[in-house]
Amino acid sequence: MTFDSASVTAAEKAAAPDRAAAQRRSRMLPIVLPLVGLVVLLGGWWLVKIITGWNSFILPSPADVVTTIVDKWDIMISNTWVTVWETVAGFVLAVVIGVPLGVALAYSWIFDRMFSPILFGFNAVPKIAVAPLLVIWMGFGVLPKIVMVVLLCFFPIVLSTAAGVKSTPEELRELIRSLEATPFQAFRKVRLPSALPHLFVGLKLAISLAVIGAVIGEFVGATKGLGYLIVISGGTADTSLAFAALAFLAIISIVLYYALTAVERWLVPWAEEQV
Amino acid sequence: MISVEQVSKAFSTNEGAVEALRGIDLQVDEGEFLTLVGRSGCGKSTLLRIIAGLVPPTGGKVTVGGRLVEKPRRGVAVMFQRPALLPWRTVFENVMLPIELMDGDSDPYRRKAGELLETTGLTEFATRLPRELSGGMQQRASLCRSLVYDPEVLLMDEPFAALDALTREELSMELQRICAASGQTVVFVTHSIDEAVILADRVAVMTPRPGQIRQIVEVDVPRPRSLGQTAHTETLSGYAAALRDLLFETPGAEAS
C-alpha cells in the first residue's frame, strides 16, 4: 500500500512541472505567434530585397528602415504625436456627434426618414475629394485634418448606434413597459447598455478609419504629421522614411484598436461570450 | 379582481383582418390562480397581453382591481416565456430593477429580494450574471423580480415552456408554494395540460380561430398538488383527461 501511494505521488510530482509548463505555453502563445508572423514577414521582405538586388530608394531593407527610424527619431516622434492627436480628437468628436444622432435615428422614424437618405448620400461622397475644400475653408492647420477624421468615422458610429438601440430585445421592451419605466429610465437602464455591444463594432471600425482620415488630411496642405512625412519622402526619394512612417501608422492603428478593445472589455464584460 | 368583458381583438395583416379573440368574458377573484389553456395560436397570449395593458383590445373592456386597463401598470407584474433578465446586471440587481424604477426607500425591498432568492434557492447565485445560470435558474430569478414589489396580480405567459420537463415540474411546485404564501392573483398561460391542472384553481379552456373560451373547469383538489403519487393522483389525471377531450374536440363537431 505504502509503496503504491508513494509511487503515485512520485508520478504526480513528475507530471506537475509538465502541466505548469503547458499552462505557461498556452498563455504565451497569443503573444509569441504574432511575433513569429512578424519575423516571417520581415524575413520575406529581406529575401525579396536580396534576390532582386533593387536599389534602396526603390525597396529599402528592414535594416535601412530601422536605421532611418533611429537617425530621425525626433522627427518621427514629433510627427507621430501630431497624427495621433488628430486621430484621437477626430474620433472623440465623431463619437460625441455620432452617438446622439444614432440614438435619435433609432428613436424617431420621422427623423430617420428625413435624414437617413442624406446621410447615405454624404457617405457615398469620396472623402479624399473633400480634402482640398477643407484646406480652402480651414487652412493648413490641424483643424481640417480633424474634420477629415470625423467625416470618415462618423458614419459607422451613427449606424452602429442606431442599430444597437433598435435591437433591444422585444421581451426587454415589454418588461420596461410593464414596469412603467419613464422613457429616460428605459433608455438609461435598458436600451443604452443593450446597445453597447453593437456600438463597439462600429467604434472599432471607426478607429481604423480615423487613422486613414488623418493621413488623407495630411496629404493635402499639411506641414506636419506622418502623412506629411510620406509626402516629403516622395519628393526627396527617401523611401526608407516613407516605410518608417507607414510602420508607425500601422502601430498607431493597432495600439488604438486594442485600447478600444480594452475599454470594451471594461464596459461590456457581460457580452464577451455572446459575440 | 380581474374582470374581462366581451373582449375581442383583430389584427390587420396583409391578407386582411384576422380575428384573434371573440367575445371573451372572464372573472378572476382575488387570490385565485387561473390558468388559460389552449393550443398554439388560440389567442391565449394575446388575452394575457390585453389584461396586462401591453396590447389594446379591439372591443370590450378589462378592469383590474376596479380600474380600467388602458396601459401597463406596476401593480400588475408580467412574466414572459423568456427570462428577460438584463445580461449586464447580477441576479440580485435584476431582481431589484422594479424597485429602482420606483421612487422611495429601497431598503425593505432589498430584504424582500433576499428572501425571495432564498426561497428559490438562488442565494449563492445573487452576485452572478444571468449567463452563468441555467435556464431554470434564470426563470426563477425572473419570478423573484416579478414578486419583489408585491404586485396585486401576476400574469405569466408560458413562463416554463422553454425548460426541460423535470425543471418545469419542479418550478410548478415552487410556484404553488410561493403563491400560496403570498396570496397573489395569478393568470397563467400554458399549453401544457398537466401544468394547468397542477397549478390552477380554475382552468379556462380556449379554442382557436377566433379565440374563445370554451369552458371553465374548476379543479377541486387540495394543495400542494404534484404529478407524483399522492392520494389525489387519480382525480388529477381525471381532470387532465377531461381537459384533453375539451381541447381536441372542435366546437363544430360537438354541434353536429
- Top-confidence range, A22-36, B55-69, B132-146: B132-146
- DSSP secondary structure of A206-274: HHHHHHHHHHHHHHSS-SSSHHHHHHHHHHTT-HHHHHHHHHHHHHHHHHHHHHHHHHHHHH-GGGTTT
* ipTM for the complex shown: 0.80
B14 Rama class: left (phi>0) / alpha (psi -120 to 50) / beta: alpha
- Top-confidence range, A62-71, A93-102, B243-252: A93-102
Is the pLDDT score of A173 beyond 50? yes
Q: How confident is the model at residue B228 (pLDDT cuts 50, 70, 90)?
A: confident
Q: What's the CA gap between B134 and B141, in Å, rounded?
A: 11
Q: Do B72 and A271 touch (CB under 8 A)?
A: no
Is the pLDDT score of B254 beyond 50? no
Q: What's the CA gap between B47 and A170, in Å, rounded?
A: 18
Question: What are B's interface residues with A at a Cβ cutoff of 8 A?
Answer: 52-54, 72-74, 76-78, 80-82, 84, 86-88, 97-98, 100-101, 129, 131
Is the pLDDT score of B166 beyond 70? yes
For A47-80, give one letter per residue: b (16+ CB within 10 A) or e.
eebeeeeeeeeebbbbebbeebbeebeebbeebb
Q: Residue A233: exposed, middle, or buried by beta-carbon count in 10 A (0-12, 13-18, 19+)?
A: buried
Q: Residue A129: exposed, middle, or buried by beta-carbon count in 10 A (0-12, 13-18, 19+)?
A: exposed
Q: How confident is the model at residue A2 (pLDDT cuts 50, 70, 90)?
A: very low
Nearest-CB residue to A270 (from B76, B78, B87)? B87
pLDDT of residue A100: 94
pLDDT of residue A135: 86
Residues B111-164 have pLDDT tens digits of: 888 888 888 888 888 888 888 888 888 988 998 998 888 888 889 998 888 888
Q: What's the CA gap between A205 and A156, in Å, rounded?
A: 7
Q: How confident is the model at residue A77 (pLDDT cuts 50, 70, 90)?
A: very high
Q: How confident is the model at residue A237 (pLDDT cuts 50, 70, 90)?
A: confident
Q: Do A179 and B82 touch (CB under 8 A)?
A: no
Residues B167-217 have pLDDT tens digits of: 888 888 888 888 878 788 899 998 888 888 888 888 888 887 788 777 777
pLDDT of residue B179: 80
A231 or B249, higher pLDDT: A231
For an interface test with B, the pick among A172, A178, A266, A274 (most B C-beta atoms closer than 10 Å) comes out as: A178
Q: What's the CA gap between B149 and B141, in Å, rounded?
A: 14
Amino acid at A171: E
pLDDT of residue A11: 52
Tell whether pTM > 0.90.
no
Nearest-CB residue to A179 (from B81, B87, B98)? B98
Chain B residues with CB-CB distance to A271 below 8 A: 87-88
Is the pLDDT score of A120 beyond 60? yes
Q: How confident is the model at residue A272 (pLDDT cuts 50, 70, 90)?
A: low
B226 or B145, higher pLDDT: B145
SS3 B223: coil
pLDDT of residue B240: 79
Is the pLDDT score of A160 beyond 50? yes
- List Cα–Cα distances, B71 to A62, A245, B53, in angstroms: 70, 62, 4
- DSSP secondary structure of B32-48: -EEEEE--TTSSHHHHH
Q: Do B72 and A268 touch (CB under 8 A)?
A: no
- List Cα–Cα distances, A38 to A20, A32, A44, A256, in angstroms: 28, 10, 10, 19
Residues B68-98 have pLDDT tens digits of: 878 888 888 888 888 889 999 999 999 998 8
Q: What's the CA gap between B168 and A252, in Å, rounded?
A: 54
Q: Do A268 and B88 touch (CB under 8 A)?
A: yes
Is the pLDDT score of A225 beyond 70? yes
Query: With contact defined as beta carbons under 8 Å apart, do A150 and A94 qualify?
Result: yes
Q: How confident is the model at residue A80 (pLDDT cuts 50, 70, 90)?
A: very high
Query: With contact defined as beta carbons under 8 Å apart, do B25 and B60 qualify?
Result: no
Q: A with B: how many residue pairs have Cβ under 8 Å apart?
A: 57
Q: Do A270 and B131 touch (CB under 8 A)?
A: yes
* Contacts of residue A120, Cβ cutoff 8 Å, sequence gap at least 6: none
Read off φ and ψ for residue B26, nearest 5 degrees: -160, 135
**What torsion, rounded to 10 degrees, do the Cα atoms B245, B251, B254, B256 define?**
-160
Q: Do B131 and A177 touch (CB under 8 A)?
A: no
User: What value does the mean pLDDT take over residues A194-220?
Assistant: 92
pLDDT of residue B152: 86
- DSSP secondary structure of A93-157: HHHHHHHHHHHHHHH-HHHHHHHHHHHHHHHHS-HHHHHHHHHHHHTTSSHHHHHHHHHHHHHHH
pLDDT of residue A6: 46
Q: How confident is the model at residue A10 (pLDDT cuts 50, 70, 90)?
A: low
pLDDT of residue B223: 73
Q: How confident is the model at residue B250 (pLDDT cuts 50, 70, 90)?
A: low
All three cell numbers of A90, joined, read 477626430
Residue of B169, B197, B24, B162 whose CA lies nearest to B81: B162
Q: Do A178 and B101 touch (CB under 8 A)?
A: no
